[in-house]
């Protein structure tokens, strides 16, 4: 039964988000349904993906499910706990120092956690470049206000 936990969870999330999207108020300016399109698309994709994932797992129901056991072995528990701690720190820093700097710190921390210190230049480069491109795309090109 554990095999079906993830697809059923995301199916439920998709259905709840679909209901919430359909209850959004109509826009008063421009296209009245404009605010519905993107969340509606995401909800439908999540529901369809969850159903596909469920049937993929249904085909494998006779095979032993080891995925949750793997989370308890090796470095996985350490990575999971440290990632959660870094996410909490990221949410704390986000409002205080802004999107760009907090994202660089967060991605840098994750990159060093996963790649180690030997690839320091790659880790820092990816964290800075990805954060800057994301910030530039939203703040400058799309003119979305970011903290």
| pLDDT > 70? residue 101 | yes
**Domain boundaries defined on the chain:** 2-65, 76-141
Rounded distance, CA 21 to CA 47, Å?
A: 13
Residue percentage of the chain with pLDDT more than 90 = 54
Whole-number pLDDT of residue 86: 94
pTM of structure: 0.60
For 7-34, what is the mean pLDDT?
87
């Amino acid at each position: 039964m554990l095999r079906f936990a993830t697809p059923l969870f995301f199916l439920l999330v998709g259905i709840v988000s679909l209901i919430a999207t359909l209850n959004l108020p109509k826009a008063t300016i421009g296209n009245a349904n404009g605010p519905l399109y993107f969340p509606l698309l995401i909800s439908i994709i999540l529901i369809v993906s969850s159903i596909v994932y469920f049937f993929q797992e249904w085909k494998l129901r006779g095979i032993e499910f080891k995925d949750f056991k793997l989370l308890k072995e090796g470095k996985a528990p350490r990575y999971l706990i440290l990632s959660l701690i870094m996410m909490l720190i990221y949410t704390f820093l986000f409002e205080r120092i802004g999107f760009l700097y907090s994202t660089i710190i967060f991605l840098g921390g994750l990159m060093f956690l996963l790649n180690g210190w030997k690839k320091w230049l790659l880790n820092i480069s990816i964290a800075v470049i990805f954060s800057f491109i994301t910030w530039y795309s939203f703040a400058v090109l799309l003119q979305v206000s970011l903290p």
